Amino acid sequence: MLIGAGRKKIQAALGALALLFAMAPAAVAEKYASIVVDADSNEVLHARYADEPRYPASLTKAMTLYMVFDALKAGEITLNEKMTVSRNAASQPPSALRLKAGTTISVSDAINALVTKSANDVAVVIGERLGGSESRFATLMTMKAKALGMNRTTFRNASGLPDTQQLSTARDMAILAERLLEDHGDYYHYFSTTSFSWSGRAYKNHNNLLASVEGVDGIKTGYTRASGFNLMASAKRDGRRVIAIMFGGSTSKSRDAHVSDLIEAAYQSFDEDSKPDALKANYAFSALQNPIDPDGAAMPMLNGQVFVANPVVGEGDESGPFEVLQPAPAG
């Protein structure tokens, strides 16, 4: 009996040790990626892991909005149209407006809700209106992404909520930002919205760079445990525009600081007239080759399943780190 009990304890200990080793490589997996682009010349000023697959989180909603703007231009919808909230949409976890099934929201309010609150329920309302179902809308999003040249991007939902098959890259997100500016510049002003009021509550835009970095006028933040803190930002100074993308920040504060540094380095590179053109960007970005801890947002795995925060407690954007964990659903 004692021998049997001892054997069970040893087996349990070995199993725990094996699990630890299995989780270790994923726990230090790189989540950071960045790219900075001169939007006027399309020159890449800086790139690190720019083509590596990453979870886009709520940067996904930039594509959802691209599809909305496409539909507006095609006359498929209008800004005043009232879209009906389904039970599926109403059941989405935060960030959310907490819409009730059977109620409606206008296209204009939906746009503002995505830009500021990053509302997951609103993203589903849009997806169901434009695609008939959210899954079909995600297929249309992926098709549009490929058409735009975002060849390493796959969408599985309209919000960016955790899905192991929903992947993009920093370079692809830079392409999306550029195409939003080029194709839908007349709607781009929405991304500068600093607050949005709904049902008696005011929601502040999660993009803190709008108020703190010169020239920043958009466009989108994102967060899940699996992705870390992401940011797609654009700035314009003296008629010159840059786009900066970052994935995998360990905190929203460190992400904001690093993207601010990327933007400042971009404009510094434009001012380095004393150096040969090929060296300008390298010189300006040289201090940023080893930014924040790139592994700070790494996500552990168990039995091949990525662990994500329980979406019921606020997965989806700037809600912060979570304690309750559960295995991610199979995509």
Secondary structure (3-state) at 193: coil
Quote the tokens at residue 121.
């329920």
What order do you get walking across the sheet with 301-302 strand by strand? 301-302, 305-309, 325-327
Secondary structure (3-state) at 22: helix
Query: Would you say residue 53 lies in a domain?
Result: yes
Domain of residue 262 covers 28-322
* Residue 206: strand pairing partners: none
**Using N-to-C axis directions, what is the helix angle for 60-74 and 170-183, rounded to 10°?**
30
Determine the pLDDT at residue 234.
98
Residues annotated as catalytic (active site), given as ranges: 58, 61, 118
Whether the predicted pLDDT of 297 surpasses 90: no
Query: Would you say residue 4 lies in a domain?
Result: no
Q: Against a cut of 0.85, is the pTM above it?
A: no
Query: Would you say residue 111 lies in a domain?
Result: yes
Determine the pLDDT at residue 152.
97
* Pairing outcome for strands 33-38 and 195-198: unpaired
Query: Would you say residue 260 lies in a domain?
Result: yes
Query: Would you say residue 1 lies in a domain?
Result: no
Q: What pLDDT, in 10s, does the model give residues 106-154?
A: 999 999 999 999 999 999 999 999 999 999 999 999 999 999 999 999 9
Max CA pair span of the chain: 81
Distance CA 143, CA 67 (A): 11
Least confident of 129-133, 139-143, 298-302, 305-309: 298-302
Query: Would you say residue 17 lies in a domain?
Result: no
Least confident of 29-33, 56-60, 142-146, 319-323: 319-323
Per the CB < 8 A criterion, the answer to whether 151 and 51 are in contact is: no
Query: Would you say residue 159 lies in a domain?
Result: yes
Between these two residues, 7 and 86, which has the higher pLDDT value? Answer: 86
- How many structural domains is the chain composed of? 1
Residues 299-327, mean pLDDT to the nearest whole number:
36
> Which CATH number characterizes residue 233's domain?
3.40.710.10
Q: What pLDDT, in 10s, does the model give residues 47-104?
A: 989 999 999 999 999 999 999 999 999 999 999 999 999 999 999 999 999 999 999 9
Determine the pLDDT at residue 304.
34
Query: Would you say residue 19 lies in a domain?
Result: no
**Contacts with 244 (C-beta within 8 Å, 6 or more apart), sequence order:** 34, 35, 36, 37, 231, 232, 233, 234, 235, 259, 262, 263, 266
Q: What pLDDT, in 10s, does the model give residues 147-191?
A: 999 999 999 999 999 999 999 999 999 999 999 999 999 999 999
Closest CA to 159 of 205, 97, 244, 201: 97
Least confident of 86-90, 154-158, 230-234, 277-281: 277-281
Whether the predicted pLDDT of 313 surpasses 80: no
Determine the pLDDT at residue 103.
98
